[in-house]
Amino acid sequence: MSKLNNKQNNKNSPAEEVTRRDFLRKAGAYSAASLTGAAMLLSPKPARATKNVTWAEHFQKNYRLMTDEEKKEAIDRLVKRYSEEFGKTVTVDDAPAMDGVLFGYALNIQKCIGCRRCVKACVAENNQSRGDKQQIEWIRVMRLEKGKFSEKDRDDGGYPQDFGIQVGGNAYKPAGVVLEGQHYYEADKVPEKDAFYLPMQCMQCEKPPCVKVCPVRTTYRDPDGIVVIDYNWCIGCRMCIGACPYWARRFNWGEPDLPAEEMNPKTHYLGNRPRMKGVVEKCTFCVQRTRKGRWTGCVEVCPVGARKLGNLLDPESDVRKILATKKVFRLRADLNTYPKFFYFMD
Amino acid sequence: MFWGWMLFLAFFIMLWGYGEYVQLANGMIVTGLNDQVSWGFYLANFVFMVGVAAAAVTVVFPAYVYKHQELHKIVVLGEMLAIAAVVMCLLFVTAHMGRPDRLWHIFPVIGIFNWPNAMLTWDVLVLTGYLALNIIGGFYYLYKKYTGKPVNKLFYLSVVYIAIVWALSIHTVTAFLINTMPARPMWFHSMMPIKFITTAFAAGPSLIIIVFLLVRKFTPMKIADEAFHILSQIVVWCLGIALFLTLSEIVTELYPSTEHSMGLKYLMFGHHGLNALVPFFWTAMALMIGSFILLLIPRVRKNLLLLPFICLAVFVGIYIEKGMGLMIPGVIPTPIGEFAEYTPSNIEFMIVGGVWAIGFFVLTVLIKGAVGIMLGDVRYEEKARRNVQGEQADAVAT
């Protein structure tokens, strides 16, 4: 595997060819040598993905500002590193947004049965960290309880009486983990009788608050409407996590745990390539698939066809037809984020 | 005594080094933070220290604008405090970052500085600007005193006046940093900046009073009682306004009691048995209200034996109010309404404690040097006092 692109890249990884002392001396010569750089050398059990990061990768530019040649170099570096780390041929795609395409998504909450196959397919497709230590999921399926009303509750239940107002019935229900629903449900069988489901993920807002607050512009909206992140430029300040009203962004608190045999080798630079610790990630509408004209993992796996993806600029696309004919709403429309993720009912 | 204090601080600085090492090696997973509560103890301390830094202006302002003679002499000490506080702020932010090794990404020219869009870049600008102003102002004054030459009033006063306005900006922008996010309804109100400023101008001068009383006790430097009276008046009025704003916030949130008030309600009363923050809120309230009432009594306020203890209560009260009372409930519940409790990990305590130790270390060195110069002990001509000069050089280097 290490033969891949060896010619171009052996310059960038001095550790391979020079003695340890030489390496340390050279490393010391970087006066801007970062603390993590130091930690990298000293750490008793260095984490896999960080260990092999070359200085060239460490000091590369923001992806959007790279020339085509620099992009190619950066991608070659990644291909080499990933292939070595995971022991298989990994590809890193750099497909830009297609012309004339603006991605939109529509989810039929009437059909969704809360099986969470989308969640699992997403994790398998997008190389999220998994396991007990750090499990990252980009989709959350909220279970919303249907209201329960009983005669007994008319006078006893309801809004706390101490404040002198009585909403009555059970319009007020003691919130569970989450106010309006919760995403930790464990049902024996879905769909449950007394609940319906509302999956949430990144809404790919047209006016994304996360992009606005990013101090280093590592997250940005591509022309096809997908909000992407250059994981190599992210400083981990988590402003975007604070600003996102949909709780869609996830942080790699520790080194991601991605078993080599489960790693999906078809990756995109801005999408599902393996991440490193200390950076933010989120749903990209499977940019590695959709820019090649394929469905996202979640659309493909949904057993009831509740999930639809399409080109908002194409009047014949599924999504446009749904927008034209169904009753559609978006979450938190009051915030003017203009999500391109629509919910609808038949 | 001095060396004992420095050794004591050095112990905590070592813990900081260890904590930072563990965090850098393993990632933020060693903190108590998680997906639900992704901002915590580091940012809470950051916000509080920005306030303390800004509060240096409470010394400078009356000194120069109202030509208050007693405060005039100790302005430099306020500037030294601001420098130490900003240094702490920068260390807290670095500790909060997931990738401190990529800090250079935010530097203009070599990185990308998302200005004017990102509020964080405004904060970087105002904080570094404030640090620069205080270093220039403070060390220029000390240098002139040190060489015994007259201060260029036009230059020095311009720096001081800019710094006065600038101090307001650092806390205002820090408030804007968190109150411009409708995803976090507890912070999303326009009272945030003024509340930040008033609490800062209560906590800051409280610390300044304590530090100045220590300076007066342990160094030959004279600081008139009058200076403490002015500062304690600033504390009492700012504390009063801060309490009034807190009251307004509570009534506005709790009367309609919408989902947007869940954070504040969680802070004040807990939520279905999750009530880790409740004791902190009421402790902070008791400390702030108690000391406000005490400080309203002129005899108590002017009693310089009692004053430092009340000031300590104000300082601790506001520290709790900013951390456990503002930063943490602001991110609980999550935007989709999930409640999760957060307790800082030992690593977080080590790092935060260590940054405080670094702050006090810097402050002690700076003040020792500054006092030496202002008393005339350290002068350019005197060769005999080389050791003290050495310390001063350290201070300049810091």
Q: Tens of pLDDT along chain A (346 residues)?
A: 333 333 333 333 333 334 444 444 444 333 333 444 444 444 433 345 556 788 888 899 999 999 999 999 999 999 999 999 999 999 999 999 999 999 999 999 999 999 999 999 999 999 999 999 999 999 999 988 876 666 666 666 555 555 555 555 555 454 444 456 788 888 889 899 888 899 999 999 999 999 999 999 999 999 999 999 999 999 999 999 999 999 999 999 999 999 999 999 999 999 999 999 999 999 999 999 999 999 999 999 999 999 999 999 999 999 999 999 999 999 999 999 999 999 999 8
Please indicate whether, in this complex, the C-beta atoms of A174 and B104 are within 8 angstroms of each other: no
Question: Is residue A278 less than 8 Å (CB to CB) from chain B?
Answer: yes
- Phi first, then psi: give them for residue B19, nearest 5 degrees: -60, -45
B192-218 vs B225-254: helix axis angle to the nearest 10? 150
Question: Is residue B275 less than 8 Å (CB to CB) from chain A?
Answer: no
Q: Which residues pair with A219 in a beta bridge?
A: A229
- Helix residue spans in chain B (DSSP H): 2-26, 41-54, 57-65, 69-72, 75-96, 119-147, 153-179, 192-218, 225-254, 262-269, 278-296, 298-301, 307-322, 328-330, 346-374, 386-397
Q: Which residues pair with A345 in a beta bridge?
A: A327
For residue B244, pLDDT over 60 is answered with: yes
Residues in chain B: 398
C-alpha B44 chain-centroid distance: 10
Q: Which residues pair with B271 in a beta bridge?
A: B274
Specify the pLDDT at position A196: 87
Dist. CA B388–CA B392, nearest whole Å: 6
**Which of B269, B338, B351 is most worth mutating to test chain A (most A CB atoms within 10 A of its CB)?**
B338
Dist. CA B225–CA B211, nearest whole Å: 14
Please report the sign of the dihedral spanned by the C-alpha atoms of residue B309, residue B313, residue B315, residue B316: positive
Specify the pLDDT at position A111: 95
Give the list of residues 6+ apart from residue B383 with CB closer than 8 angstroms, or none. Answer: none
Question: Is residue A168 less than 8 Å (CB to CB) from chain B?
Answer: no
> How many CB pairs (< 8 A) connect A and B?
171
Specify the pLDDT at position B160: 85
Give the list of residues 6+ apart from residue B132 with CB closer than 8 angstroms, or none. Answer: none
What is the token pair recorded at B157? 């006063």
* Domain range for B149: 2-397
Minimal C-alpha gap between B351 and chain A (Å): 15
> For B5-29, what is the mean pLDDT?
96
Specify the pLDDT at position A43: 40
**Which of B16, B35, B254, B327 is most worth mutating to test chain A (most A CB atoms within 10 A of its CB)?**
B35
Q: Which of B95, B5, B104 is nearest to B42 (CA)?
A: B95
Q: By CA distance, what is B122's nearest residue in A?
A: A215
Domain boundaries, chain A: 6-75, 103-140+201-345
Residue A248: in which H helix or E strand, if any? none
For residue B341, pLDDT over 50 is answered with: yes
Report chain B residues whose CB lies below 8 A from the CB of A129: none
Report chain A residues whose CB lies below 8 A from the CB of B272: 174-175
Report chain B residues whose CB lies below 8 A from the CB of A250: 35
**B-contacting residues in A 169-208 (Cβ below 8 Å):** 174-175, 177-180, 182-183, 200
Q: Across all residues in chain B, what is the average pLDDT? A: 90
Please indicate whether, in this complex, the C-beta atoms of B105 and A62 are within 8 angstroms of each other: yes
Dist. CA B268–CA B27, nearest whole Å: 32
Specify the pLDDT at position A37: 43
pLDDT digits (tens, 9 = 90+) for B143-170: 998 888 888 889 988 898 899 889 999 9
The CATH architecture annotation of domain A103-140+201-345 reads 2-Layer Sandwich (3.30)
Q: Which of B175, B177, B189, B340 is nearest to B261 (CA)?
A: B189
Please indicate whether, in this complex, the C-beta atoms of B98 and A32 are within 8 angstroms of each other: no
Reduce the DSSP state of residue B245 to 3 states and report it.
helix
DSSP sequence for A28-83:
HH-TT--HHHHHHHH-SS--HHHHT--HHHHTPPPGGG--HHHHHHHHHHHHHHHH
Question: Is residue A241 less than 8 Å (CB to CB) from chain B?
Answer: yes
Specify the pLDDT at position A18: 40
CB A309 within 8 A of CB A194: no
Dist. CA B269–CA A204, nearest whole Å: 36
Q: By CA distance, what is B334's nearest residue in A?
A: A247
Dist. CA A297–CA B248, nearest whole Å: 49
Q: Residue holding tokens 């170099």?
A: A73
Region label for A131, one of left (φ > 0), alpha (ψ between -120 and 50) or beta (otherwise):
left
Please indicate whether, in this complex, the C-beta atoms of B183 and A217 are within 8 angstroms of each other: no
Q: How many CB atoms lie within 10 A of CB A108?
A: 19
What is the token pair recorded at A220? 């940005």
Q: Which of B122, B43, B182 is nearest to A215 (CA)?
A: B122
Task: State the pLDDT confidence band at B195, using cuts at 50, 70 and 90.
Answer: very high
Type of residue numbered A32 = A
B307-322 vs B225-254: helix axis angle to the nearest 10? 30
Can you give the pTM of this predicted structure?
Answer: 0.86
Our CA dihedral for B179, B181, B187, B190, rounded to 10 degrees, sits at 40
Instruction: Give the number of domains in chain B.
Output: 1
Report chain A residues whose CB lies below 8 A from the CB of B97: 235-237, 278
CATH code: domain of residue B231? 1.20.1630.10
Give the list of residues 6+ apart from residue B244 with CB closer than 8 angstroms, or none. Answer: none
> For B303-329, what is the mean pLDDT?
94
Specify the pLDDT at position B59: 72
pLDDT digits (tens, 9 = 90+) for B207-226: 989 988 998 888 887 888 88
CB B87 within 8 A of CB B356: no
**A-contacting residues in B 321-360 (Cβ below 8 Å):** 331, 333-339
**A-contacting residues in B 233-252 (Cβ below 8 Å):** none
Specify the pLDDT at position A41: 44
DSSP sequence for B63-100:
HHHS--HHHHTTHHHHHHHHHHHHHHHHHHHHHH-S-G
CB A164 within 8 A of CB A151: no
What is the token pair recorded at B315? 């300082």
DSSP state of B149: P
